[in-house]
Amino acid sequence: MLKKLPALFAGLLVALTAFAVNESELRSDHPDTYTVKRGDTLWDISARFLKKPWLWPEIWQANPQVENPHLIYPGDVLNLSYLNGGGGARLSSNGPRVRRDPLDEAIQPIPLKDIEQFLKNMRVVDEKTFKGLPHVVAVEENKLYASNGNLIYVRGLDARPGDAFVVVRPVNLYYSLAARRDGEAPTTHVRELDTKRGQNKMIWHHNPVKDMFGRNASVLGYEVQVVGSVQVTKSGPTSSLLVTYSDFEIHESDLIMPVEAKPYDSQYLPHPPASVPADFEVLAFTDAVNAVGPKQVVALSRGAADGIENGHVFTIYHPGDTITDRYKYPSGSARKFFNPNDSKVTLPEEYVGHVMIFRTFDRVSYGLVMDGLRPVHLNDVLRAPE
């Protein structure tokens, strides 16, 4: 179970006592007071006061006297009041204060329950690493699958008895295809990996140099899911490992990876990026077929190698669709037949919402959709936060 994180929102309010707040940063409908409720998050509360919730850490960090911001808890009252109409702010006497309540009761910066699976059990590895991973070749007594207390046999593992590892299962291959012609952007794609019937089911995913149209392909990463924990009992060309924990049945052709010392960050501070990499878009999302909305996870086509870091906030836009002008170019008309390109119209891109990065890999990152006016679709693009 992930340990809930203490919120730092009170730091924003303390900082406001020392710095005048530009009224353009405050929402016109901000409340004078707000009572913190169970289930609130830092982002939600910040959005009640600021037009740009991701800017609050900059204000907090600009105040050198705020070293350990107070925690806020359900029932605390936040009071934002103007002094002489000048945009100053202060805390009410019954606002956040140093508490002795358990940290688990403090308001979280983001809803960890929405991202717990992706913090603990998901990884994205590069192509070279993926190809070199040891793999399960059999389960004790010729069983079809292994669970807690069973032995599995692994080939290609360099380890000693007592060493601990995790068992992972390939989920998706993320890759980019070069543009078909000059002036076009490369496109990103996802292939679902299936190892349930053996490694031969995914051989063609290992090195997608070209697709059927002859375009060069570049692997962004292989996504794997942790399905269990194991410990080496005997090492050798084929090693024996004891399953110490499993969320799912462990099969032949599952892979072995080291245990991560620090698999995820312990805090998330929303902030704008210094720059936005080119061709940054939505690769995949969870729990849906066509689109997702707030508090759902998306996989994105850029990662740490592109300057992406945890806490970065981006605006999502849906690219304008290309349609036919049926008024001037009716279907079946000679005008449309002889002027097919002129009949096409590209609509403006549309604002969708905001996403915050919570885990990065080399060329892929995970983000949580924080808010939005429209559903998020595959290949929606990311821009600087607005």
Rg (alpha carbons) of the chain, rounded to whole number: 25
Domains of the chain from N-terminus onward: 9-109 (no CATH), 122-258 (no CATH), 282-383 (2.40.10)
HSE (side-chain half, CA atoms, 13 Å) at 14 = 21
| Angle at CA of residue 351, ends 347 and 354, nearest 5° | 155
For the chain, percent helix, then strand, then coil, each to nearest 5? 15, 35, 50
Question: Would you give per-residue pLDDT tens digits along the chain (386 residues)?
Answer: 333 333 344 444 433 433 344 555 778 887 877 788 888 887 887 888 788 888 765 544 443 433 334 466 788 776 654 323 444 444 343 444 444 456 567 677 777 777 888 888 999 999 999 999 999 999 999 999 999 999 999 999 999 999 999 999 998 888 887 766 665 666 676 776 754 433 333 332 333 444 444 557 788 999 999 999 999 999 999 999 999 999 899 999 999 999 987 767 766 778 899 999 999 999 988 766 677 888 899 999 999 999 999 999 999 999 988 888 988 888 888 888 888 888 889 899 999 999 999 999 999 999 999 999 999 998 899 999 98
Q: How far is CA 23 from CA 9, 86, 89, 161, in A?
A: 19, 9, 11, 63
Which amino acid appears at position 77 of this protein? V
Place of tokens 């994180």: 5
Angle at the Cα of 202 from the Cα atoms of 200 and 205, rounded to 5 degrees: 135
Tokens standing for 282?
């939505």
CB atoms inside a 10 Å sphere around CB 245: 13
Question: 59: how many CB neighbours lie within 10 A of its CB?
Answer: 21
For residues 263 and 123, what is the distance between their CA atoms, to the nearest angstrom? 9
